[in-house]
Structure 1
């Protein structure tokens, strides 16, 4: 029987033998396949699963998704243990998973916010002579208050149910519990958003979970000092993805940080695309700059080995920040003070 992807929430169950599901619970490998665009009713699909059960979501027969796995950010060799945050390119769920979202409160009075822009003018130098001048200014505007919701940052991993078993793409291990309902639904819908299906594994999980992780979210540039002209060539494709009016300011911020000669530079890839970390290891400082989201530069104090293993939500959460420098007039002065302290 062929099961096509559908908007209807009809549970589709698959086991490795054709017999009643209840009598097959003692089998070693049992999984259920959900095929839909999205599900909203968790209980409809999991009435058979007891609370407290450990489960892993994923897809098998991954050769079907070869080109898709490259877009997600896995290497061509698909080594067991590779882990990556999917980019926001597949749909609304993957976008929220990688970028988070803004809740705009239209039921509240508008507030004053500021947008930093570059202001240009001609300064006269004498008869028939002028020179173009520019400076950064804060332009106030009114907007509804907004709350930023951190991205769930669910990463996908290559695993197998045994040393010789076929490779799987899996989620982190979760516990089936009503308290985890939001996380469970989001993870299922993330697989549906990317692959159009989601399998549920609840046996032989130790082999799936206990795999050394190789995070693929960052590309660390080769050691050495990078003059801005050299570094800019590495990140130019990122800068060009943002609106033209913002490119000069992003370019200026990155160049300003780089003038302080970081020990290394790490460029985000896959779901971290658009993030750049400048490392100053002698000062135990890491400067996180984003070309897309947020209105601040984050100063972090973790070691790189620990920082590179964190999810995006963990990196953006406030408890890791040693400082946060708002993108407004005065930003350059504060960065200078922090990096010369």
Structure 2
């Protein structure tokens, strides 16, 4: 059933026209209004059939949980000591300006990471009509209700409406379509990398954090990478520094991450990594925390 509202707390109304064990998609038929939202928020055109896009985490809380997951405080455990980076500068008695970075300790409950859903959106042509859909086929009664509710709320956050697109038992078309993922684009050569990413950073980070991130990016660029790629959609905030002569790719999360990931592989393989695979650190050659020894540790690889 088609719903137009901010969010849902239950799937009862949404699934009222879906039979038990029946397969369905969550999506919308593309109208002029929907097409405008697709262009503005997802950078998708109506004719980009079968291209999957992970919505940007900047679109709202559900988009952020979908792309990045979230950390929740676990207050069943004892508090632990964590550190917060603080950039500082002061004028000494000699009139000179001194600056640096301090790591301030504070107590907090341990954080528990909730994995991202990573639901992508894709355009399909079905029965000569175009639809924008969550790229996941659900089955009433078999899929977790929370997953269906989250996917519906993701659509509502972006489009303000969502519909159930019911599939019959003979329709296997969606599962068989080959999908091209568009997650990265090459930044233009030159010294303008900071200008490419600063706008999003200044919206989501403190002044102190912005200074530290700028310093880190400029240091990486000074090492003359073969290319620099910027994440799109749900990969917004990620940069990949390619050092082709060493078969090394450095992935740095400039908005959300607290670490840098080193991958040793062909770009064709690295580019297919999901954000979950990047963050799980099972495939990375190394994971380097952002702290005072960061430059020395990264230098070993480049």
Is TM-score (shorter-chain normalized) higher than 0.5? Answer: yes
State the match for 2:111 in structure 1: 146
State the 1:250 CA deviation: 0.3
Structure 2 length as normaliser, TM-score? 0.86
1:61–1:122 Cα change, 3 Å: closer
**For the Cα contact (< 8 Å) 1:160–1:208, is it kept in 2?**
no
- Displacement after TM superposition at 1:248 (Å): 0.9
Find out whether 1:56 has 2:22 as its counterpart. no
Match of 1:187 in 2: 151
- Which of these two proteins has the greater Rg computed from alpha carbons? 1
1:103 alignment counterpart: 72
Query: 1: distance between equivalents of 2:175 and 2:291?
Result: 44
**Pair 1:171–1:206, CA change in 2 (3 A):** same
**1:249, distance to aligned residue in structure 2 (A):** 0.2
Partner of 1:296: 259
Per the TM alignment, residue 277 of structure 1 is displaced from its structure 2 partner at its CA by 1.2
Q: C-alpha deviations, 1:194-240, integer Å up to 9, x for none? A: 22222223137443344342323322124x5x4xx332232232333
Q: Tell me, in whole angstroms, the C-alpha distance in 1 between the residues paired with 2:250 and 2:16.
A: 44
Pairs aligned (count): 297
Q: Match of 2:126?
A: 161
User: In the alignment, is the contact (CA less than 8 A) between 2:46 and 2:130 conserved in 1?
Assistant: no
Shift of 1:325: 0.9
Task: Give the Cα separation in 1 of the matches to 2:81 and 2:129.
Answer: 56
Please tell me whether the aligned partners of residues 81 and 106 of structure 2 are also in contact (alpha carbons under 8 angstroms).
Answer: yes
2:179 corresponding residue in structure 1: 213
In the other structure, the counterpart of 1:68 is 37
Q: Which runs of 5+ in 2 are unaligned?
A: none
> Does the residue aligned with 2:49 lie in a helix, a strand or coil?
coil
In the aligned structure 1, how far is the partner of 2:163 from the partner of 2:275? Answer: 23
Are 2:81 and 1:112 equivalent residues in the alignment? yes
Task: Output the TM-score relative to the length of structure 1.
Answer: 0.77
CA contact (8 A) 1:150 1:316 kept: no
Q: Which residue of 1 aligns with 2:209?
A: 246
In 1: Cα distance, 2:3 partner to 2:20 partner:
18
Cα–Cα, structure 1 residues 48 and 79, in superposed 2: closer, same or farther, change >3 Å? closer
RMSD (CA atoms): 2.6
Q: Which runs of 5+ in 1 are unaligned?
A: 1-11, 13-32
Matched, 1:200 2:162: no
Alpha-carbon contact 1:267-1:275 (below 8 Å) kept? yes
Do the aligned partners of residues 89 and 292 (structure 1) sit closer, same or farther apart at CA in structure 2, a change above 3 Å counting? closer
String of CA shifts for 1:118-150, please: whole Å, max 9, x gaps.
Answer: 3334455xxxx4322222332211122111222
Q: CA deviation at 1:69?
A: 0.6
